[in-house]
Structure 1
Amino acid sequence: MTADFSREQAAMIAGRARVAGVDEVGRGPLAGPVVAAAVILDPTAIPDGLADSKELSAQRREELCVLILASALAVGVGSASATEIDRINIRQATLLSMRRAVGALPLSPDLVLVDGNDPPALACGCESIIGGDGLIASIAAASIVAKVMRDRMMARLSLTYPAYGFANHAGYGTAAHRAALKTHGPCPAHRYSFAPIKGVWSRSIA
């Protein structure tokens, strides 16, 4: 299903000229950051085929990400590291990454539309929409940018920690990843507050 721009148009008609969509990726992996993106689309240049990033192939996400970055009025990306996740918990780290993404926008939004039902505290108006990444064009765009950027981060981490195969599974708990953990133990990019790492290893001896 393709997301549309009607929610943003209604907000703009109501006087909110700059509407940003926000989404995150990476709540569930055993390693790496949680990453959020914020996107203010140009109403006159919306890329075709915006949809929930999970419904798109890796190649199509990359293609759309290029189009979004080239055509959007503003894009911001924010993340929270594995260390921050361990310190403040994944929910708070997710909200932090969203705030950082909005803060990274070169234009201040009048309204932020967030996927899900747990929006961050922001200075501007903020609305949460369950399933928004498949319904709302700007949120779909944010989901694509966040996914592509996080995958690139995990590919870079894979060069630093090649034993874990981060480029292949993006830090999720695949069988291969869990086998690597048993063999090598966790690295600094892992989330020590997540099972099966929690209670077995501590970051102080990583």
Structure 2
Amino acid sequence: MRLAEAPPNPWFSWEYVERNAQDIARALEQHASLTFQAVVIAFVLALPLGALAHLRPRLAGPVLGVAGVLYTVPSLALFAILAPYTGIGRTTVLIGLVSYALLVLTRNVLVGLQGVDPAVRDAARGMGYGRARLLFSVELPQALPSIVAGLRLATVTTVALVTVGVVVGYGGLGQLMFRGFRSNYHAEIMTATILCLLLALVCDLVLAGVGRRITPWARVERPV
């Protein structure tokens, strides 16, 4: 008696992509929008926090300490803590993602501001720049390379963390991964994984290009 052969379970199937194109596009859009919103909100919070820590060095420790504590809380535990108060869905995931991006962005803002050449500060003060004007006109522009580097790192990290949101029913491409694991369907898992990698790569390249455009002085000329 011959045993029936198991149905094929490939790691990638274009047929699966075609049959589920709408579902995949919806998950990708959710993933990208969560990433964008989380990084923007985290940056809006991190910029003044980093500037405050720079202007008031005594606050640098507490600011980075609080952000560090939030960063070290396991994502599953954080979502479990938030869910009873913020519910199941987008809000809970967004709060968690912002919490994780905050440390990277705040630290890079602070490092960038602290790394400004003292001679540049002295020259600006000699021209009559006050503290606020010095910060906005001299220090922040000089800190842009570090800030952009923080944005790139936070964005790539957030793309990966969005998938964990599946535990509260809002994980973007993580939904496809989880569904693929439950049904042992390799193509679904691999498709979601590849899209996550591509999304992270595209975001990183875009931010790198923007960074080069807004910081032309940071480009290193190659010797002839």
Relative to the length of structure 1, the TM-score reads 0.28
Structure possessing the higher radius of gyration over alpha carbons: 2
TM-score where L is the length of structure 2: 0.26
More strand by share: 1
Higher helix share goes to which structure? 2
